[in-house]
Chain A
Amino acid sequence: MASNSPEKNPRRKSRYTADRAQPGAFEGETVTRRGFVTGGALAAGGIASAAFGLPALGFALGPLFEDGTKDPWQDVGPEADFNPETYVSKTINIQAEVGEAGKSTIYVRKYDPKQDKPSPSDIEQKIEPLPYVALSTRCAHLGCPVRYYRDPGRFVCPCHGGIYDIQGKVDGGPPVRPLDRHYTSVSPDGRVMVGERFSVNSELRRFLPRDPSNHLDGLWQYLYPARPST
């Protein structure tokens, strides 16, 4: 190209290898054979490495992008088992294939319109309240199992002393949001069914399930996105 020739613009290097006095240069070529073969070998090596590396990486990272939720409705007993005043503990499967380790305790109580006021966003969006309140025992601090104490009506975490009130809202200690809940419904034959987990913020507005320690209030909530796996 004329604009590249050294005569017109001496500061610009010629695109021809011969003009640049490269070793092994031939007249009229812009890439030496040596450079071409080096580049070709690097490209072939890169393609071959990517051919096994990228699938392996996707294999390891796959669970991040998979929707892990399945139809999870589980029977926790007849309606007569539950009352609006206090919680009854039930065991459900979180990860069925793990066996004992995949089980978890939940606390279930009948919905009480007097004390369970729906959140402002639920009223705004006309979301019906759930017939039963099912609280997960996974502490919202770091995931230890909380225990319900009937007399003070509080949930207490054994690890770092997080305390929750009877609604599951934080009453003290390090937790960053209320206890997670599960969807509930009543089957036609009068059995209480417990479904997927969801997280709530301090107003009990529903969110997709988050990990413990992830905030859902104020500006913090934007730092902890919902993940595709939930």
Chain B
Amino acid sequence: MSKLTPPLPKFLRPTPPRPGQKEGPGRNGDGDGDGNGNGNGKPGRGEKLKDGALEGTAQVVGYLDERTGASPFLRGFLYRKTPKGTNWFYTLGSATMFAFVSQAVTGVFLAMYYEPGVSRAYESAAHITNEVFLGELVRGMHRWGSTVMIVLLFLHLGRTFVFGAYKYPRELNWVIGVLLMVLSLAMGFTGYLLPFDQRSFWATAVGVNIQASAPVMGPYIADFLRGGAEFGGATLSRFYALHMLLIPGLLGALIGAHLYLVAKLGTTAPPWLKAEKKELTKEEI
């Protein structure tokens, strides 16, 4: 193994011998002198089980790795080098992604009870809240999680901006991030209509009319969103399809591209860290 390879995780490394134990590979050493062992150097029952489990895991991992070649990729992806000064602000992106995953999971389960028709939308949303077991909790997590995701998204955007992490060579990742922001806001806009109560109805009516106020294209965009000249049943199913299928798919794909670029380019050091001045060796001069 070269020096550049990241170290193996601890559980894959052989255990070093304990003090007072004879030299040799670890793992099979019985707990000498700790009273649990049988004292004749044979492995105890617990040790045997542990060994078997480890071996079985290693075999499964080995089987998968041999057939997918995943381990070089995963090691490069998970054991990346990070700059000095990396701090809690660098977790905001992952936090936003976790909020997205939570929205996706709760959204899938909400879709099991929600019915996107004008006569049933409000009833089914009320049914989720009032009657389904834990329905209030799942709907509440989705409803408040959307706000959490937007807040985290803007904190992440602000961190990137203030730390100058959008600069060369990461401009493209900034552009992808802005697209993710627009799509997340579109998720909020389309999801707001789905409970189909007075608040969501009028908020969406106003929201669509704001888009209609754009010159030239505005009236056509509004017609597209409403599915016609008037707000109606077509509007609700359109928003449902956008919220459930089109925008989440785009979000997932763009998050993949965003993460790929993060892994490829690495993260930036915080701006308060100066580059270290290194003594040049003779060869370098």
Contact = CB atoms under 8 A, between A and B. Distances in A.
Interface of A: 60-61, 63-64, 66, 68-69, 94-95, 97-99, 101-102, 142-144, 159, 209-214, 223-225, 227, 229-230
Given A63-B234, A64-B220, 10 more contacts: A63-B226, A95-B233, A101-B118, A142-B209, A142-B213, A143-B205, A144-B205, A209-B229, A211-B209, A212-B209
Interface of B: 118-119, 196, 201-202, 205-206, 208-210, 212-213, 215-216, 218-220, 222-224, 226-234
A41 to B, nearest CB: 24
B117 to A, nearest CB: 10
Contacts of B212: 211-214
Contacts of B201: 101
Given A143-B205, A159-B206, A213-B213, A224 B218 contact: yes
A213 B220 contact: no
A174 B223 CA distance: 23
A102 B220 contact: no
Per CB-CB distance, the 6 closest pairs between chain A and chain B, nearest first, are A213-B213, A223-B215, A211-B212, A95-B232, A143-B209, A229-B229
Contacts, number: 86
B48 to A, nearest CB: 58
B113 to A, nearest CB: 21
A136 to B, nearest CB: 12
Nearest to A158: B202
Contacts of B233: 95, 97-98
Given A99-B118, A223-B216, A227-B223, A213 B209 contact: yes
Contact of A68 (B213, B224, B228): B228
Given A101-B118, A214-B212, A144 B229 contact: no
Contacts of B216: 223-225
Nearest to B226: A63
Given A63-B223, A214-B218, A144 B206 contact: yes
B87 to A, nearest CB: 43
A229 B224 CA distance: 10
Nearest to A143: B209
B13 to A, nearest CB: 49
A76 B206 CA distance: 27
Contacts of A229: 223, 228-229
A230 B201 CA distance: 21
Given A63-B223, A214-B218, A142 B229 contact: no
B152 to A, nearest CB: 29
- Of the candidates A60, A69, A99, the one having the most CB atoms from chain B within 10 angstroms of its own CB is A60
B202 A144 contact: yes
B229 A227 contact: yes
A229 B231 CA distance: 13
Contact of B224 (A64, A69, A223): A64
Contacts of A213: 209-210, 212-213, 218
B224 A63 contact: yes
Given A98-B232, A99-B119, A143-B206, A64 B223 contact: yes
Contacts of A212: 209, 212-213
B219 A227 contact: yes
